[in-house]
Amino acid sequence: MNPEKRYEFLSRLREENPTPRTELKYNSTFELLISVILSAQATDVSVNKATAKLYPVANTPEAIYKLGERKLKTYIKTIGLYNSKAKNIIKTCKALVEEHDSVVPNTRAELEALPGVGRKTANVVLNTAFGEPTMAVDTHIFRISNRTKFAPGKNVLQVEKKLLKVIPDEFMVDAHHWLILHGRYICTARNPRCGACVVYDVCEFKGKKKDLEE
């Protein structure tokens, strides 16, 4: 996809959704961090259901650490990989209390040093909480980038680096949310909704005409 098409692509997504937001529900940077950790290989809907019960009881590093791993599991047991996530969350809360005065750090290195926080999670927090121009490549963004030829790559890191290189600065902060939401609701994995797509004519997905007919 050439620069002109990319600009049009993002301009239309911006026009459709001028102020995109994550669908994870949170009221603090700490809540966002925990929700993003929980969202790995899980839906935002399932995370929100769990945290709706957890956060009224414990929504600070001290409070969740005090809950302990066993009790934390009772709140998040409906989420995939809840055993390992509970263990990492307790360790992360301990690290935040002891090493960061209970404040979520705003640098990639410090975030990735927290248990259960990888590059994608760090990118989400940096972008959503701190407004940094980062790109967290999840399954939706990876699919869209390759399917539309917006920023093709063989793995998530390649796609991330390509996106950071080709997305104009004016779109960079919000592009992460636009692409995720577009992949979640329009450019879906099995049956992309080409007929409802605002960027259909600039997309370079070879199978789109067939999908539209079907």
Distances (CA, A) of 71 to 5, 40, 158: 51, 20, 39
Q: Quote the CA–CA distance of 51 and 156 in Å, as a whole number.
A: 28
Asked whether residue 210 carries a pLDDT value surpassing 70, the answer given is no
The CATH superfamily assigned to 29-128 is Hypothetical protein; domain 2 (1.10.340.30)
Domain with CATH 1.10.1670.10 in the chain: 3-20+134-213
Model confidence at 212: pLDDT above 80: no
The pLDDT value given to residue 206: 74
Catalytic residue among 66, 73, 85, 120: 120
Instruction: Please list the residue range(s) of the chain that carry CATH number 1.10.340.30.
Output: 29-128
Q: What pLDDT is recorded for position 214?
A: 43
pTM value?
A: 0.89
**pLDDT tens sequence across 68-124:** 999 999 999 999 899 999 999 999 999 999 999 999 999 999 999 999 999 999 999
List pLDDT tens digits, range 121-176: 999 999 999 999 999 999 999 999 999 999 999 999 999 999 999 999 999 999 99
Specify the DSSP class assigned to residue 200.
Answer: G
User: Catalytic annotation on 138?
Assistant: yes
Q: Which residue has the tokens 């760090």?
A: 122
Closest to 141 (Cα-Cα) out of 181, 113, 83: 181
Q: Which of 28, 26, 51 is nearest to 38 (CA)?
A: 51
How confident is the model at residue 213, as a pLDDT?
A: 43
Catalytic residue among 138, 174, 208, 211: 138
The class of domain 3-20+134-213 in CATH terms is mainly alpha
pLDDT tens digit sequence for 170-192: 999 999 999 999 999 999 998 89
| pLDDT for res 21 | 92
Is residue 161 flagged as an active site residue? no
| Band of pLDDT at residue 200, cut at 50, 70 and 90 | very high
